[in-house]
Homo-oligomer: A and B are copies of this chain.
Amino acid sequence: MALSMYQLTVPAFVRGLKVMSALLKKAEAHVEQHGSVPDAMISARLADDMLPLTGQVQRASDTSKMTVERLTGVPAPKFEDNETSFDQLQQRIANTIAFLESVTPEQFADSEERTIRLNFGGLPDFTGASYLLTFALPNFYFHVATAHDILRNQGVKIGKLDYLGAFA
């Protein structure tokens, strides 16, 4: 009647990142089919003060790799946030997945109780468990859902089941 911190992070993040990769492939196909400009899709956003599609991918990557770094102490790779094409976004996702899959369940030992301190927002310290449940998972899914929402808003023919990865 319990799930390990590893189960709750690495496979869930890898799955979500693969969903994001599949969404980006459909977005790229949509751009090609309509003869539109890839830059317009990649820089699309839902509000002036929200991140564009590129930023949603970058933050999903960061949230997943930093969650694993914070819970395990294994340093995550740094990325430059300089992606400007679908191919580069796919590479970012692939590099993130490669890091996540390099971490083992054993490296999550005692991560539930580990103290996690973030550097913004005046947030209180978390335990590993509270950090995962009240910050990391909601934050990760926010970026996958918002990437999906941006693409729907741009007219890409995807649906909820693409987000859920039901046929992945």
Interface residues of A (CB under 8 A from B): 1-5, 7-8, 11-12, 15-16, 46-47, 49-50, 108-112, 121, 123, 129, 132-135, 137-139, 141-142, 144-146, 148-149, 152-153, 155, 159-161, 163-166
Cα distance A135–B121 in the bound complex, in angstroms: 30
Chain A facing B: main interface SS: helix
A121-B161 contact, Cβ under 8 Å, with A109-B1, A145-B145? yes
Cα distance A102–B129 in the bound complex, in angstroms: 23
Neighbouring B residues of A109 by C-beta, 8 Å: 1
Residue of B nearest to A111 (CB): B1
The residue among A2, A8, A123, A153 with the most chain B CB atoms within 10 A of its own CB is A2
* Cβ contacts A to B, 23 pairs, < 8 Å: A1-B4, A1-B5, A1-B111, A1-B112, A2-B3, A2-B4, A3-B3, A8-B8, A8-B133, A15-B134, A16-B138, A46-B152, A47-B152, A49-B159, A121-B161, A138-B141, A138-B163, A139-B164, A142-B148, A142-B160, A142-B164, A145-B145, A146-B149
